[in-house]
């Protein structure tokens, strides 16, 4: 039975609304997408829906509802509709699920709506599958946003004193940019002491953060991808010895919709990789293998040998003009303080292997530091590596100008809440990335243009 017929058989008070009627230019087939949304018999959306991974053929959407329900995702365009597998959600996932629809067409606009017990709930999403441009045209231009450290105040459980978070309007500012993709660079939640002793505590913290009203438009605006850092994982500066890393991983996979988890294949981490247009993204896990720098009797590491080997091999095989490596903590800065990679031998190992393999176009996107700065390193063979540290979104900020970083690009320190906008454009053989740092109101603080052929 189709959806319209089903709705006619439900004798309850409903609200009627009409969605866009699309007409195919090829076959003049009209799809009637007017239907009734009924609040009875369904569980209403409380967070999201959030657009997750979008490929040429598939769409993933995360949603959270108020109570136990059977969730599915309806996707349609002028050629027809598809509905995902129904997933029963309950307390083990805080009534949330990642819903997937495949067998779609590349470069196509789709509408999508979450269904609860067969009834549409929440806003209708507008989603474009990725374009099949390879061997046909120049790659499309696109806009990426990135940021880290999103602290949302919770007065019942926060430490006494001045609230640590604020200026949540930054999320609405970011949504108004009409981004094509959003990268969350870690510390996307801040687990409190009260959360760390139970899995339900992890689910509570994710639910509390994700339900922030100002965040909703950004979640719906574009595909969202994430890595983690210590505050998504466990206590401050948590490493692989944190006993509840399994809770961290399970809750992360519950609330995000990355394309996969575990790189290299079979690893028990959250690392993944994906391509958007002609740019490749390598999303690293800096917690699951970490041996912290204050250990005196263990070999220090952050990523671990297997993850580094996978990263270098994947970078070596990539033809992308820009190879974006997302990492929770600062990589390139030579300031051996805090949790910076300068404290670890892996930093130099990765740099040396990039040079040995002649890998061009590497850009690190990092967070954690509660201030923003750009670092640049030119190697002997002429390879240039950048590290754009972007922080914080809503956590408190500080000014690190007095801290020595010999690789810092002058004039790039930002000591206020901010986010990064990366604009990719140009023909296939001369791609350009414009880095722009913007404040809470979307005002440009600084910008820099980088050409792929110069890396």
Whether 136 is covered by a domain: the verdict is no
The band of 5, judged by pLDDT with boundaries at 50, 70 and 90, is: very low
Instruction: Give residue 10's pLDDT.
Output: 32
Q: pLDDT value at position 41?
A: 77
Q: What is the pLDDT of residues 204-222, one digit of tens each?
A: 999 999 999 999 999 999 9
Is 26 a residue whose pLDDT tops 80? Answer: no
Domain count for the chain: 2
Tell whether 134 is covered by a domain.
no
378 and 443 within one domain: yes
Is 241 a member of any domain? yes
Per-residue DSSP letter, 252: H
Position 4 pLDDT exceeds 60:
no
381 or 359, greater pLDDT: 359
In this predicted structure, the answer to whether residue 7 has a pLDDT above a threshold of 80 is no
Range of the domain at 24: 3-128
Is the pLDDT score of 12 beyond 90?
no
Boundary (domain end) residue, out of 104, 128, 152: 128
The full DSSP string for 310-366 is: HHHHHHHH---SSEEEEESS--S-----TT-GGGSHHHHHHHHHHHHTT---EEEEE
Residues 284 and 334 in one domain: yes
Same domain, 249 and 332: yes
CATH number at residue 243: 3.60.21.70
Residue 348 to residue 342: CA distance in whole angstroms: 8
Tell whether 124 and 59 lie within a shared domain: yes
pLDDT surpassing 90 at residue 452:
yes
Domain membership flag for residue 351: yes
**Domain shared by 401 and 442, yes or no:** yes
Residue 111: pLDDT band (50, 70, 90) is very high
pLDDT in tens, 295-347: 999 999 999 999 999 999 999 999 999 999 999 999 999 999 999 999 999 99
pLDDT band at 234 (very low <50, low <70, confident <90, very high): very high
In angstroms, the CA 185 to CA 181 distance is 13
- Looking at the fold, whether 124 and 171 belong to one and the same domain comes out as no
Asked whether residue 311 is assigned to any structural domain, the reply reads yes
CB 130 within 8 A of CB 56: yes
Under 8 Å between Cβ of 283 and 327: no
Identify the domain boundary among 73, 105, 128: 128
Residue 283 domain flag: yes
pLDDT of residue 137: 98
Q: What are 61-80's pLDDT values in tens digits?
A: 999 999 999 999 999 999 99
In a domain, 177, yes or no: yes
Kindly tell me if the per-residue pLDDT of 275 is higher than 90. Answer: yes
CATH of the domain at 75: 2.60.40.380
Burial class (CB in 10 A: 0-12, 13-18, 19+), 294: exposed
Confidence (pLDDT) at 18: 33
Q: Is the pLDDT of residue 20 over 80?
A: no
Hey, what are 384's tokens? Answer: 């240039």
The mean pLDDT of the chain is 92
59 and 203 in a single domain? The answer is: no
Mean pLDDT along residues 101-111: 98
Residues 384 and 354 in one domain: yes
Instruction: Report yes or no on 76 lying in a domain.
Output: yes
The pLDDT value given to residue 40: 55
Residue finishing a domain among 97, 128, 159: 128
- Quick: pLDDT tens for 138-190: 999 999 999 999 999 999 999 999 999 999 999 999 999 999 999 999 999 99
């Amino acid at each position: 039975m189709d959806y319209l017929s089903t709705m006619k058989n439900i004798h309850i008070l409903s609200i009627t609304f009409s969605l866009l009627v699309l007409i195919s230019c090829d076959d003049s087939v009209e799809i009637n997408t007017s239907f009734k949304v009924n609040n009875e018999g369904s569980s209403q959306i409380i967070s999201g829906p959030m657009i997750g991974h979008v490929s040429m053929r598939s769409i993933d959407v995360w949603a959270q509802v108020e109570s136990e329900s059977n969730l599915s995702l309806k996707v349609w365009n002028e050629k027809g509709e598809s509905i995902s597998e129904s997933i029963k959600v309950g307390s083990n996932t805080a009534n949330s699920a990642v819903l997937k629809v495949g067998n779609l067409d590349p470069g196509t606009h789709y509408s999508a709506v979450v269904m609860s017990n067969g009834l549409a709930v929440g806003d209708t999403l507008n989603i474009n599958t990725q374009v099949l441009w390879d061997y046909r045209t120049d790659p499309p231009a696109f806009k990426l946003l990135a940021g880290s450290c999103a602290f949302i105040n919770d007065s019942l459980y926060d430490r006494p004193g001045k609230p640590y978070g604020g200026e949540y309007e930054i999320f609405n500012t970011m949504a108004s940019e009409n981004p094509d993709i959003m990268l969350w660079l870690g510390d996307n939640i801040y687990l409190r002491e009260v959360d760390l002793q139970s899995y339900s505590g992890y689910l509570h913290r994710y639910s509390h953060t994700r339900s922030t009203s100002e965040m909703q438009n950004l979640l719906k605006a574009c595909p969202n991808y994430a890595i983690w850092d210590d505050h998504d994982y466990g206590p401050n500066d948590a490493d692989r010895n944190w006993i509840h890393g399994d809770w961290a991983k399970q809750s992360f996979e519950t609330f995000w919709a990355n394309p996969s988890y575990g790189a290299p294949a079979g690893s028990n981490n959250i690392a993944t990789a994906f391509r958007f247009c002609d740019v490749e993204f390598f999303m690293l896990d800096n917690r699951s293998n970490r041996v912290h720098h204050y250990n005196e009797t263990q070999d220090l590491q952050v990523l671990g040998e297997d993850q580094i080997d996978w990263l270098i091999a994947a970078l070596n095989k990539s033809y992308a003009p820009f190879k974006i490596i997302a990492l929770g903590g600062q990589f390139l800065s030579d300031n051996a303080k805090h949790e910076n990679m300068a404290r670890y031998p892996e930093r130099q190992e990765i740099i040396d292997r990039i040079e040995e393999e002649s890998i061009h176009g590497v850009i690190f996107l990092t967070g954690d530091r509660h201030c923003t700065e750009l670092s640049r390193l030119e190697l002997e063979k002429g390879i240039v590596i950048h590290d754009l540290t972007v922080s914080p979104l809503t956590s408190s900020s500080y000014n690190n100008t007095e801290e020595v970083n010999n690789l810092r690009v002058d004039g790039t320190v930002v000591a206020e809440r901010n986010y990064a906008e990366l604009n990719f454009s140009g023909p296939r053989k001369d791609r350009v990335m414009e880095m722009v740092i913007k404040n809470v109101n979307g005002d440009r603080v600084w910008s820099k243009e980088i050409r792929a052929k110069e890396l």
